[in-house]
Structure 1
Amino acid sequence: MNNFLVCFVTLATFCNCVQFPSSFKKCDKRRSDFNQCLSDVVYEGFKVLDKPLKSHGLPSLHDIEYPPDVIIEIGNSTYGLEQKFSKLRIIGLSKPESVTARLEFGPVVSTLTIEASYIEIIWQMKYDAQGTTVLLPLKVQTSLDLILRNPTLTFTIELEEYEKGATYFKVIHSDFDMHTDDFTPRFEQLFSDKLLNDEFNSALNEKGVQVFNIHKHLQVNMAPYFGSIFNSFFEKVPVAELFVD
């Protein structure tokens, strides 16, 4: 998705719904350096969202908590291991090392793409599992931290214009993707035996990126959530307030 013009436009920390403060940098669509300007503004916007902007319906990007009804389930307990991931949180999105943004304007649909690179992102969740793993019966509830080092997050948002007294954007589709150099899963208490738990975490971490790539398709669940954040902002701010034509 993925994902954040919602960040750069939020530099309007003290604005009302239709006007930005004079300090807000509006990028000129006619200039050849438009996307570089956009990248700089998005980068600053990420940092602004270290705290939530309730006036614009925007959550903090430092600690994003999914709605409580978002649950990811894989496998089954009859033939293997039933796994459920819930109470998902992502920590650290407000502190990118670098941001590259581009906005391609189309006659009907415009596409915003943002690539944000980080030193570290932590993905926290509750993990429930029931079934059998390597012949060992397992029934457990534990916290699970997924630590991504040097990750790049890509947000792709498709926008369509509509009229409501002025021209506004609305999100019609969103995608989200993650790549990482290192992936470290950390189960707090998968097994009651601490030594066994630590050894399992260690063995799993040796194949961290491989494990990440196997389950990478599950991140599709994140796209609609980020898309809804974008949309909640765009419905308040006219397109004319975002750019110089």
Structure 2
Amino acid sequence: MRRTHVFLFALVGVISCTKLPANFKKCNRKDPKWKDCVKEAIDDALPQLTKSFDELNLPNFEPLWIPQVIIGGGGSVAVTQNYKNCKIFGLTKMKLDKAGFDFDNKTLEFAGTVPEYILKGEYTLDGKVLLLPVKGEGDTTATMKNVEFNCLMQYEEVKKKGKTHKVVNENWKLLFEDIEDTFLDAMTKILINILNHFFTASFKKCNRKDPKWKECFKEAAADALPQLSKSFDEVNLPSLEPLWIPQLTIVGGGSVAVTQNYKNCKIFGLSKMKLDKAEVDFDKKIFEFSGIVPEFILEGEYMLDGKVLLLPVQGVGNSTATMKNLSLGGSMKYEEVKKKGKTHMKFVSTKGLVKPSSIVFHFDNLFNGDKVLGDEINRVVNENWKLLYEDSEEAFAGATLKIITNVCNNVFAKISIEEAFD
């Protein structure tokens, strides 16, 4: 934190001036104990800066108000950070180890620790971090513990009305300019906190040229899944907990001679999937994955009209299907699509496996709310779940894999191969 505490320079100047408030200790540089006096005077003055001293051009430092800071990004942080109405807390509580002038060399040197440095403000972000789009606005806070500082500052002497002035902060604007560098350092931590809003922890990034690419990618996918309990709109990635599906149709056959229409569906459990495999073959243009979802729950509003095990089934209402230890795997073929000089994946076909170890169904309001008939159908369906699933497995698997394909296409329409894997 190179220059956050440059206001000490101003304080040293203040304690040497002739028109001090009565409660500020004044030091004479001709005094043999000048150095000790300066440090004591600053220690005494710091707690008093919870209010401003306009006659000395000293603002209130608890908090210190910063109107606006704009930080242009670079490197892995290619994002413009715009902060306004910022407040810094904690400067008046710093513990000084050293503070003193060298009038011959025209320097001020000081060192010490701020026990708790807090920076609050309103942010706006627009750009990319680690090649992932980041955009948002809101309030943010950075709290730093035991911030150590050590600074050597060079000054020039300027003549005004026959007197010598050290070039320090004589107004708010200059004060801000002098603390700006370290303020930007603090903003880096604020940016990290903001990004935690977008990337709950962080998505691990893998380079496909790395010899350990396959291991890295599987670890990255496994690390990312639990974070998908929230959405990342910036990369077109919805929340998987639950994953909302506006409409789902499963066409039956065999013993399930009924078309199942669902709307406003919610799928729970995908973020808890235990991955066994996750690979991308860039030569064959295939993404393959497999794993187990311990508990896969599908909730939605259903409409049924047909027959199950030759029994008439008709109803409209809410339904739940709870599947245990769902084996889920897929082989997804993609094409490469060029956009603005970059290569994007477009998944065009998917085949795979979706097989549970058990299923429990529940349909409300069957037969217009006839409880006897409704309970009987729910009982029969659950006792024969395996047979019923086998007859509708292909349709259900196709619908499930299509949902996953759509999610992947949404993401890679936004993120290029180069951004994701280089």
TM-based fold match above 0.5: yes
1:151 to partner: Cα distance: 0.6
| 3-state secondary structure, aligned to 2:285 | strand
1:58 to partner: Cα distance: 1.5
Partner residue, 2:411: 233
Q: Is the 8 A contact 2:325 2:356 kept in 1?
A: yes
Q: Is the 8 A contact 1:62 1:95 kept in 2?
A: no
Is structure 2 residue 361 aligned with structure 1 residue 185?
yes
Task: Work out the CA distance in 2 between the residues paired with 1:179 and 1:135.
Answer: 24
| 3-state secondary structure, aligned to 1:203 | helix
Q: Is the 8 A contact 1:18 1:237 kept in 2?
A: no
Task: Work out the CA distance in 2 between the residues paired with 1:186 and 1:46.
Answer: 28
Partner residue, 2:266: 89
CA 1:231–1:129 in structure 2 vs 1: closer, same or farther (change >3 Å)?
Answer: closer
Q: Is the 8 A contact 1:17 1:237 kept in 2?
A: no
Is structure 2 residue 317 aligned with structure 1 residue 142?
yes
Give me the TM-score of the superposition, normalised by structure 2.
0.46
Task: Work out the CA distance in 2 between the residues paired with 1:135 and 1:160.
Answer: 44
Partner residue, 1:159: 334
Is structure 2 residue 297 aligned with structure 1 residue 125?
no
1:237 to partner: Cα distance: 2.0
Q: CA RMSD in A?
A: 3.1
The equivalent position to 1:41 in structure 2, one of 220, 225, 241, is 220
Q: Residues 200-239 of structure 1: matches in 2 within 5 Å?
A: 200-219=377-396, 220-239=398-417
Is structure 2 residue 241 aligned with structure 1 residue 62?
yes
Task: Work out the CA distance in 1 between the residues paired with 2:309 and 2:204.
Answer: 57
Work out the percentage of aligned pairs sharing the same amino acid: 24
CA 1:132–1:98 in structure 2 vs 1: closer, same or farther (change >3 Å)?
Answer: closer
Q: Is the 8 A contact 2:303 2:316 kept in 1?
A: yes
| 3-state secondary structure, aligned to 2:388 | helix
Task: Work out the CA distance in 2 between the residues paired with 1:19 and 1:146.
Answer: 39
Query: Which structure is higher in strand share?
Result: 2
| 3-state secondary structure, aligned to 1:198 | helix
Is structure 2 residue 206 aligned with structure 1 residue 27?
yes
Partner residue, 1:4: none
Is structure 2 residue 230 aligned with structure 1 residue 51?
yes
Task: Work out the CA distance in 1 between the residues paired with 2:207 and 2:130.
Answer: 18
1:28 to partner: Cα distance: 4.1
| 3-state secondary structure, aligned to 2:128 | coil
Superposed CA deviations along residues 128-157 of structure 1, whole A, max 9, x for unmatched, are 233566786654223221111011222332
1:187 to partner: Cα distance: 1.7
CA 1:193–1:45 in structure 2 vs 1: closer, same or farther (change >3 Å)?
Answer: same
Structure 1's unaligned 5+ residue stretches are 1-13
Q: Is the 8 A contact 2:258 2:308 kept in 1?
A: no
Which shows bigger deviation, 145-154 or 197-206?
A: 197-206
CA 1:222–1:26 in structure 2 vs 1: closer, same or farther (change >3 Å)?
Answer: same
Partner residue, 2:288: 113
Q: Which amino acid aligns with 1:213?
A: E
Aligned length: 223
Larger radius of gyration: 2
1:64 to partner: Cα distance: 1.8
1:59 to partner: Cα distance: 1.1
Partner residue, 1:16: 128
Partner residue, 2:112: none
Q: Which amino acid aligns with 2:405?
A: G
Superposed CA deviations along residues 182-201 of structure 1, whole A, max 9, x for unmatched, are 11122223254435533432
CA 1:62–1:134 in structure 2 vs 1: closer, same or farther (change >3 Å)?
Answer: closer
Task: Work out the CA distance in 2 between the residues paired with 1:179 and 1:226.
Answer: 15
Q: Which amino acid aligns with 2:300?
A: M
Task: Work out the CA distance in 2 between the residues paired with 1:36 and 1:180.
Answer: 27
Q: Which amino acid aligns with 1:90?
A: I
Partner residue, 1:71: 249
Structure 2's unaligned 5+ residue stretches are 1-125, 133-194, 196-201
Task: Work out the CA distance in 1 between the residues paired with 2:269 and 2:203.
Answer: 24
| 3-state secondary structure, aligned to 1:201 | helix
Task: Work out the CA distance in 1 between the residues paired with 2:310 and 2:333.
Answer: 47
